[in-house]
Amino acid sequence: MKNITERHEYILNKIKENSKISIQELCDEMNVSSVTIRKDLKLLEEKHLLFRTKGGASSSNPYATDKPILIKESINLDEKNKIAKKAIEIIQDNDSILIGSGTTAYALARYLNPTEKITVITPALKVAIELCNKPNIEVLQLGGLIRPNSSSVAGQYAMRILDEISSGMVFLGVDGIDLEFGITISNLTEATLNQKMIATSQKVVILADSTKFGKRGLGKICNIEDVDYVVTDQNISPNYVKSLEENGIKVVIA
């Protein structure tokens, strides 16, 4: 069995090579108990050398933060635009859709120019403003207090309107996709509204660039198996594609 210094060096080298590692894998390779590995990971995290995750560790922070929308807009912009254009192909002849908040959802609104009439329901102020003067689009803006970070409403006023609505599809931008934990965003209040939007819709479409996989936001909005489509970019790992498809999800790569 390796001593503590050798174990730590081994763990950090494995993290450097693979970006993440599981506790079970480390136990098998070093012939030590899971208790020992958990203590090692805790010490290394305290030294800011890695991030502990469920069942292992990662070189990058797996937890999403609630960044202001103006900052988010500049992150992975090309990928978001490609995802938005690809997602429009899914809409087809739906007479009503829900579009959530977030920068990828806003990109979808920018490229949405239907030839047939459609109703768009949204909590996002920027989405509503983008769509309100486009032909063939009727906009229903959900009400409530506007969150400065997302320029989107949340709370009971929006929830009450959704009680009276049925939608063909909901398009949601998210902050994290974890195959075990599910789909998450970084704000609890908006997570509750997103849950209601999902319950209101017949199909669920998640818009997420490849950096969102393996991360978790604070608020869970649904399980993996509740999703019908995931639209992402070409940098997604083939392992994620396989796992999503095994859960019955249609993966669309932009």
Q: Is the residue at 194 inside a domain?
A: yes
- What is the number of alpha carbons within 13 Å of residue 188 lying toward its C-beta? 1
Q: Is the residue at 121 inside a domain?
A: yes
Percentage of the chain with pLDDT > 90? Answer: 54
Q: How far is the C-alpha of 21 from the C-alpha of 211, rounded, in Å?
A: 18
Q: Are residues 93 and 219 in the same domain?
A: yes
∠ CA 8-214-98, nearest 5°, is 160
Q: Are residues 125 and 46 in the same domain?
A: no
Q: Please count the structural domains in the chain.
A: 2
Measured from the Cβ of residue 54, the count of other Cβ atoms closer than 10 Å reads: 11
pLDDT at 244 over 80: yes
Q: Which pLDDT band, with edges at 50, 70 and 90, does 209 fall under?
A: very high
Q: Is the residue at 64 inside a domain?
A: no
Q: Which pLDDT band, with edges at 50, 70 and 90, does 216 fall under?
A: confident
Q: Are residues 92 and 184 in the same domain?
A: yes
3 state DSSP class of 111: helix
Q: Are residues 104 and 39 in the same domain?
A: no
| pLDDT tens readout for residues 44-97 | 888 878 888 778 888 776 665 655 655 555 566 889 999 999 999 999 776 899
Q: Are residues 33 and 155 in the same domain?
A: no
| pLDDT tens readout for residues 24-49 | 999 999 989 998 999 998 888 888 78
Mean pLDDT of 168-182: 93
3 state DSSP class of 58: strand
Q: How far is the C-alpha of 75 from the C-alpha of 251, rounded, in Å?
A: 22
Q: Is the residue at 193 inside a domain?
A: yes
What is the maximum alpha-carbon separation in the chain? Answer: 70
Q: How many helices (H) and strands (E) does the chain have?
A: 10, 15
Residue 159, both tokens: 């929830």
* Predicted pLDDT at 68: 60
Give the domain CATH number at 20: 1.10.10.10
Q: How far is the C-alpha of 32 from the C-alpha of 76, rounded, in Å?
A: 41
Please classify residue 7 by burial: count the beta carbons closer than 10 Å to its beta carbon, then call 0-12 exposed, 13-18 middle and 19+ buried.
Answer: buried
| pLDDT tens readout for residues 184-205 | 998 888 899 999 999 999 999 9
* Predicted pLDDT at 76: 67
Mean pLDDT of 143-161: 87
Mean pLDDT of 85-113: 91
Mean pLDDT of 152-168: 91
Measured from the Cβ of residue 114, the count of other Cβ atoms closer than 10 Å reads: 17
pLDDT at 171 over 90: yes
**Is the pTM value of this prediction over 0.85?**
no
Q: Are residues 83 and 18 in the same domain?
A: no
Q: Are residues 17 and 127 in the same domain?
A: no
Q: Domain of residue 156: give its range.
A: 69-253
